[in-house]
Amino acid sequence: MVLNWITSTPRRTLALIAAACVALLAFGMYLQHVQGLEPCPMCIVQRYALVLVALCTGLASLGRRSAWWKTWSLLATVAAGLGAFVAARQSWLQWNPPEFASCGRDLYGMIENYPISRAIPMIFRGSGDCTAVDWTFLGGTIANWSFLWFVGFALVLLALLCKGAQRR
């Protein structure tokens, strides 16, 4: 009954995805600022992907026209796919750490010390920091859980898009 209420309208589902993204971002801020865990460059990219999913699904939930929510949902699906890819790569690095891991700079250090044209590629490059496992829940690392959330969002969004295409 609750699941039927959640999925009965695309706008409600999209708003719930946006709210879940905001909650996950808030939890990330808690881990960083209260627990003292420093995010690696791959974590930062995943946060940006989560922000994109939240913005796209939030905007999609505001529109009444089918084309509006489908367009924003498609963009959110792409952002969720990007986030899932980065989280999968980080999980792989954590399971198979490179032999010679070098500790990379944090985001602010990169931007302060390098021009933006050099800093942006550095953000997307994995470093020794990305292999660290500082927190786990039920045996999964932050990257593992991030991957599951991104895949879940992508699957729900694809289901909405397919369901919306059938209604034509």
61-105 per-position pLDDT tens digit: 887 787 888 888 889 999 999 999 988 888 877 777 666 554 445
For residues 51 and 47, give the distance between their C-alpha atoms in angstroms, rounded to a whole number: 6
Does the reported pTM lie above 0.85? Answer: no
Sign of CA dihedral 152, 158, 161, 165: negative
**Whole-number pLDDT of residue 52:** 93
**Whole-number pLDDT of residue 127:** 45
**Whole-number pLDDT of residue 94:** 76
**Whole-number pLDDT of residue 81:** 92
Structure tokens at 108: 């602010």
**Whole-number pLDDT of residue 124:** 52
**Whole-number pLDDT of residue 21:** 94
**Whole-number pLDDT of residue 135:** 64
With a CB cutoff of 8 Å and minimum separation 6, the contacts of 123 are: 41, 44, 45, 107, 110
DSSP designation for 130: G
**Whole-number pLDDT of residue 126:** 41
**Whole-number pLDDT of residue 141:** 82
Residues lower than pLDDT 70 in the chain: 1-8, 97-111, 116-133, 135-137, 164-168
**Whole-number pLDDT of residue 143:** 84
